[in-house]
Amino acid sequence: MKIVVDNKIPYIRETLAKITDNVVYMSGNEINSETVKDADALITRTRTRCDRQLLEGSRVKFIGTATIGFDHIDTEFCNKAGIVWKNCPGCNAGAVEQYVHAVLTLLKEEKGLKLENACMGIVGVGHVGSRIMSLAKKLGMKIMLNDPPRKDNGESGFVDLDTIAAECDVITFHTPLIKEGKYKTFHLADKDFFASLRKKPVVINTSRGEVVDTSAILDAINEKRVSEAIIDVWENEPHINLDLLHKVYVGTPHIAGYSSDGKLNATIMTLKSLCEFFHLDVDINLSLDEDLKEENIIDNKDDILSCYNPKNDYSVLLSHPEDFEKIRGNYKLRKE
């Protein structure tokens, strides 16, 4: 069995060595049709576009992406070609919650944002959005939820996007990227959305860059319809819009979900899917390195910024935006 693996996926090599000695590790953006043509499985991240161009004529039967998102996989082609693909829903939800909590703490300390009784609009209430909902409640915030697929599935408690735009002090996006159809999220936050804002809210995007129209949010910032913007995901990554980078309150290189815990979860989920597909009886006994198990000791238990301050990551990206991919690829995983 041959497996091609993105070399930035941590904690995976020891287990794969138990499965086969034919494992090829390489940069995700360098994986091409030549490297996968005789591979049985591909384990990747978002940087490898898994489509007809990559996979047609190959031996690949299984794709595991060690990520929540799967918009880099042409699922229609894979389904027609008989290629099974698996993602890792919820693997880094805790890390994104930590990121949002840190951002809200910064806004409270530096900008005077009053969290108690403020209204947070959560767009997308899956694994991550549900964690953000719990966080908001703990912080004493009111919440409004928007999730059309869940609403249509009979779940209750949702409002439309216009209500979110009109009523919320903080709006945070946690949707997958869907480019067409009834539940399209591509440019969900477009010029019309920003024009309908009523309370000059804080806008946070940790979902996918294309969910927010770059030109529209830039106009909204310039016209002060948005008080502050926090952007972790960008259109056209890694070639991000530098005007937007300099206008946001915090801008980071798609690392909101980059914790050691989240990465380990993703690796374990991917390995389990691989073993299940190929009917492999392999012991997956993974845990964090000893130095990552140590608890963060802080004077004030509520001071989340002692554990993680996203402004530090913003400073790095501001200094070297051309190194977006390098910064992201070499990011030192934080502990949740």
> Which residues span the domain enclosing 38?
3-87+260-277
Q: How confident is the model at residue 304 (pLDDT cuts 50, 70, 90)?
A: confident
Find out whether 257 is annotated in a ligand binding site: yes
Find out whether 314 is annotated in a ligand binding site: no
Q: Is residue 186 part of a domain?
A: yes
168 with 241, same domain? yes
Cα→Cα distances 214→179, 201, 205, 230, Å: 16, 17, 11, 13
115 with 216, same domain? yes
Cα→Cα distances 67→11, 72, 125, 137, 243, Å: 14, 10, 17, 27, 28
pLDDT of 93 over the 50 cut? yes
Average pLDDT of span 50-60: 98
Q: How confident is the model at residue 335 (pLDDT cuts 50, 70, 90)?
A: confident
Mean pLDDT (the chain, rounded)? 95
228 with 273, same domain? no
Residue 76 or residue 306, greater confidence? 76
20 with 141, same domain? no
Residue whose pair of structure tokens reads 């009053």 in the numeric block: 114
102 with 224, same domain? yes
Q: Which residue type sits at 131? A: R
Where do the H-state alpha helices sit in the chain? 13-19, 33-36, 52-55, 75-81, 93-111, 127-138, 148-152, 161-167, 191-195, 214-222, 242-247, 260-277, 290-293, 310-319, 324-329
Q: How confident is the model at residue 260 (pLDDT cuts 50, 70, 90)?
A: very high
pLDDT of residue 327: 97
pLDDT of 74 over the 80 cut? yes
Name the β-bridge partners of 3: 23, 41
Q: Is residue 198 part of a domain?
A: yes
43: its two tokens: 């384990």
Find out whether 67 is annotated in a ligand binding site: yes
Mapped onto helix, strand or coil, the DSSP state of residue 200 is coil
Find out whether 175 is annotated in a ligand binding site: yes
pLDDT of 292 over the 60 cut? no
12 with 159, same domain? no
Q: How confident is the model at residue 58 (pLDDT cuts 50, 70, 90)?
A: very high
pLDDT of 308 over the 50 cut? yes
Q: Which residues have a Cβ under 8 Å from the Cβ of 14 and sit 6 or more positions away?
A: 286
Q: Which residues have a Cβ under 8 Å from the Cβ of 163 and sit 6 or more positions away?
A: 144, 146
User: To the nearest whole percent, how much of the chain has pLDDT over 90?
Assistant: 92
CA 235, CA 192: separation in Å to the nearest integer?
18
pLDDT digits (tens, 9 = 90+) for 125-172: 999 999 999 999 999 999 999 999 999 999 999 999 999 999 999 999
Residue 115 or residue 286, greater confidence? 115
114 with 212, same domain? yes
65 with 211, same domain? no
CA 10, CA 8: separation in Å to the nearest integer?
6
Find out whether 126 is annotated in a ligand binding site: no
CA 65, CA 47: separation in Å to the nearest integer?
10
pLDDT of 302 over the 50 cut? yes
Average pLDDT of span 251-271: 96
Q: Is residue 22 part of a domain?
A: yes
Q: Is residue 240 part of a domain?
A: yes
pLDDT digits (tens, 9 = 90+) for 170-194: 999 999 999 999 999 999 999 999 9
- Number of C-alpha atoms within 13 angstroms, CB side, residue 217? 30
164 with 244, same domain? yes
Mapped onto helix, strand or coil, the DSSP state of residue 254 is coil
Q: Answer whether the bond into residue 10 is a cis peptide, omega within 30°.
A: no
Q: Is residue 208 part of a domain?
A: yes
Find out whether 172 is annotated in a ligand binding site: no
Q: Is residue 333 part of a domain?
A: no
pLDDT of residue 303: 78
pLDDT of 300 over the 90 cut? no
pLDDT of residue 299: 37
pLDDT of residue 295: 45
Find out whether 105 is annotated in a ligand binding site: no
- Number of C-alpha atoms within 13 angstroms, CB side, residue 218? 12
144 with 224, same domain? yes
Q: CATH number of the domain that 65 lies in?
A: 3.40.50.720
164 with 242, same domain? yes
pLDDT of 247 over the 50 cut? yes
Name the β-bridge partners of 65: 44
Question: Pairing between strand 119-123 and 23-26?
Answer: unpaired
Q: Which residues are catalytic, by number?
A: 208, 237, 254
pLDDT of 286 over the 70 cut? yes
pLDDT digits (tens, 9 = 90+) for 32-46: 999 999 999 999 999
Neighbours of 292 (CB within 10 A): 14
**What does the angle CA 84 – CA 47 – CA 228 come to, to the nearest 5 degrees?**
120
CA 188, CA 233: separation in Å to the nearest integer?
14
CA 46, CA 116: separation in Å to the nearest integer?
36
46 with 179, same domain? no
Domain count, the chain: 2
Residue 185 or residue 300, greater confidence? 185
Q: How confident is the model at residue 289 (pLDDT cuts 50, 70, 90)?
A: low
Mapped onto helix, strand or coil, the DSSP state of residue 250 is strand
